[in-house]
Chains A and B, each alone.
Chain A
Amino acid sequence: MSDISSKFAVGVNPFAKKRSGIADKLIMVVLISCASVAILATIGIVMSLIFETIRFFEQVPITDFLFGTHWSPQTAITAEVVGSSGAFGAVPLITGTLLISFIAMLIATPLGLASAVYLAEFASSRTRSIAKPLLEMLAGIPSVVYGFFAALTIAPFIRNTGATAGFEISSESALAAGIAMGIMVVPLVSSLSDDVINSVPQSLRDASLGMGATHAETVRKVVLPAAVPGIAGSLLLATSSAIGETMIVVMAAGLAANLTLNPFEAVTTVTVQIVTLLTGDQEFDSAKTLSAFALGLFLFVITLILNVIALKIVNHFREQYD
């Protein structure tokens, strides 16, 4: 009798299980539990934000928070002290955040896009292999370093320049923080945009070059228009990271909740206020402390929305050409 016939002998299941599969199941359980930790942590954080925010809105009306123009969270410990009520109008914080993010994007958009276009289209492969890692190193610098760069270099420079021109500029200004933050997000914009530009199919470039367009015309009239949705996505992602940035603004933008659009004045942001509200000893039932959770939730919702829109745009763009 040959081997084959013995294997398929009557009554023997040729497809019988040979391995128990316990190891496979064990690995799966380990993997799932690791993945769940991250998910559960996220859910937990969001839940705590929501519950504390609800507690905050029990003490302060939501309309005061969203539309109030005065932010002064100091509540008195004893009832005799004047001004014990505190004011929780988030509008100055939101405008401060938007002002600084706007300045940052004003800096980061042209710098990031220009370097992306250069790297993706014009740089030789040698230059690219040196310049791209260097640019991405900017992303590895801790934001606290940018913070003191902003506070100790940019801010005095702006103040001195202003002084020689006859303007009074405070040493903490939205401009200084915005510039530092802009430089910080340049690598984000450039590396995302670089990916997007590279994903524009070569066939489109060939078509344009094959018709006698110059390289610059091809970039301007074919590659960039085709890459616009993806570039918009990368700018939104950069904006959301600028909105969430904390260290730079803590160090360079100040704590004064001024409602202003003047970039030379000190402003404060949502993130800075959360930091100041929660550092030091705090009682956990006062409106002052709870307001940090409301601000946190607000920030979370804004950046979530921006990220979702940005990722949608970028993914849609990828699908279009795959």
Chain B
Amino acid sequence: MLNNSVESEQKMSEFEKTLDENGPIIQAKGVEVYYGEKQALFGIDIDFQKHQVTSLIGPSGCGKSTFLRCINRMNDLVDIARVEGQVIIENQDIYSKDVDVVALRAHVGMVFQKPNPFPKSIYDNVAYGPRIHKTVTSKDEMDYVVEHSLKRAGLWDEVKDRLQEQGTGLSGGQQQRLCIARAIAIEPKVILMDEPCSALDPIATAVVEELIDELRERFTIIIVTHSMQQAARVSQKTAFFHLGNLVEHGDTDQIFTNPQDDRTENYITGRIG
């Protein structure tokens, strides 16, 4: 019974993939962000395609994280932040009045810079989302969701014998994969990652990068990164931000081999940044 559902899920994902490859899932139109008087983002227009990894790169303070946080309205939490323009996810402007932020964030998950597992057991960390959204009712089903999410995050084999231990007791890389498992347990459509590897060692980084590539099958991923090598390794599309402007975006190969803008070229060759 459970196997069947996995198979059907896989079939569904194949189906969705072929169906959606040609349409954007997220469209940003003229997004501007102000922190009080200061303008942090200027008229950002960009589309994100389904089942692709898009990297947002640029020097510190260029607005790439600010932009990422517009996509699940995490900027709402900053008192002085004001967002203008439109972010359209599946034909719905997420800044329109009738949008429930809680429902939005269930569809647009987020993984943060520093691994931030809750001080709860590994099991409860993954079960947190399904519990608050009540997407899972029975204990058996929850066990399945936890196992399945941890497997997809590549963490199951390492923790299956100690699910009741504290999530905070894992290593940094494991914690970050636990956070990814926690994010995917509620089946979001989009996962936003804000420098997910910046607190990890190179080996843990490699594991997470590999995982990102696998997750692309089922999720659309937008990742902010400081590392251009990482952008080149994990993403199909890359967008370069500079001083609050989206300078250039396109296929990752093209951005890194044949940038159209001088600023992009200066950044990827290490002259600014």
CB within 8 Å of B: which residues of A?
Answer: 125, 201, 203-204, 206-214, 217, 221-222, 225-226, 320
Q: How far is the CA of A201 from the CA of B118 in the complex (A)?
A: 10
- With A222-B118, A225-B120, A226-B118 already in contact, the answer to whether A212 and B112 are too (CB < 8 A) is no
- Asked whether, in the complex, the Cβ of A209 is within 8 Å of the Cβ of B114, the reply is no
- With A212-B132, A221-B128 already in contact, the answer to whether A201 and B116 are too (CB < 8 A) is yes
Residues of A within 8 A of B116 (CB): 201, 203-204, 206-207
Q: How far is the CA of A287 from the CA of B116 in the complex (A)?
A: 61
Complex interface residues of chain B between 188 and 207 (CB less than 8 A to chain A)? none
Closest to B105 in A: A212
Q: How far is the CA of A226 from the CA of B77 in the complex (A)?
A: 20
Q: How far is the CA of A225 from the CA of B101 in the complex (A)?
A: 24
Residues of A within 8 A of B252 (CB): none
Task: Indicate whether B110 reaches chain A with its CB closer than 8 angstroms.
Answer: yes
Q: List 5 A-B contacts (CB under 8 A).
A: A203-B114, A207-B117, A208-B128, A209-B77, A211-B182
- Asked whether, in the complex, the Cβ of A210 is within 8 Å of the Cβ of B74, the reply is yes
CB distance from A223 to the nearest CB of B (A): 10
Complex interface residues of chain B between 110 and 144 (CB less than 8 A to chain A)? 110, 112, 114, 116-120, 128-129, 132-133
Q: How far is the CA of A222 from the CA of B132 in the complex (A)?
A: 12
Q: How far is the CA of A210 from the CA of B182 in the complex (A)?
A: 11
Residues of A within 8 A of B102 (CB): 212-214
- Asked whether, in the complex, the Cβ of B74 is within 8 Å of the Cβ of A211, the reply is no
- Asked whether, in the complex, the Cβ of B118 is within 8 Å of the Cβ of A207, the reply is yes
Closest to A207 in B: B116
- With A206-B77, A207-B112, A221-B128 already in contact, the answer to whether A212 and B106 are too (CB < 8 A) is yes
Task: Indicate whether B173 reaches chain A with its CB closer than 8 angstroms.
Answer: no
- Asked whether, in the complex, the Cβ of B128 is within 8 Å of the Cβ of A211, the reply is yes
Interface of B is mostly: helix
Residues of B within 8 A of A222 (CB): 118
CB distance from A193 to the nearest CB of B (A): 17
Task: Indicate whether B63 reaches chain A with its CB closer than 8 angstroms.
Answer: no
Closest to A211 in B: B129
Task: Indicate whether B179 reaches chain A with its CB closer than 8 angstroms.
Answer: yes
**Which of A203, A213, A226 has a CB less than 8 Å from the CB of B112?**
A203
- Asked whether, in the complex, the Cβ of A211 is within 8 Å of the Cβ of B186, the reply is yes
Closest to A220 in B: B132
Residues of A within 8 A of B118 (CB): 204, 207-208, 222, 226
Q: How far is the CA of A227 from the CA of B133 in the complex (A)?
A: 23
CB distance from A217 to the nearest CB of B (A): 5
Q: Give me the 6 closest cross-chain CB pairs, A-B, nearest first.
A: A212-B105, A212-B106, A210-B110, A203-B116, A207-B116, A211-B129
- Asked whether, in the complex, the Cβ of B105 is within 8 Å of the Cβ of A210, the reply is yes
CB distance from B256 to the nearest CB of A (A): 30
Q: How far is the CA of A183 from the CA of B40 in the complex (A)?
A: 47
Task: Indicate whether B103 reaches chain A with its CB closer than 8 angstroms.
Answer: yes
- Asked whether, in the complex, the Cβ of A226 is within 8 Å of the Cβ of B74, the reply is no
CB distance from A161 to the nearest CB of B (A): 43
CB distance from A221 to the nearest CB of B (A): 7
Task: Indicate whether B72 reaches chain A with its CB closer than 8 angstroms.
Answer: yes
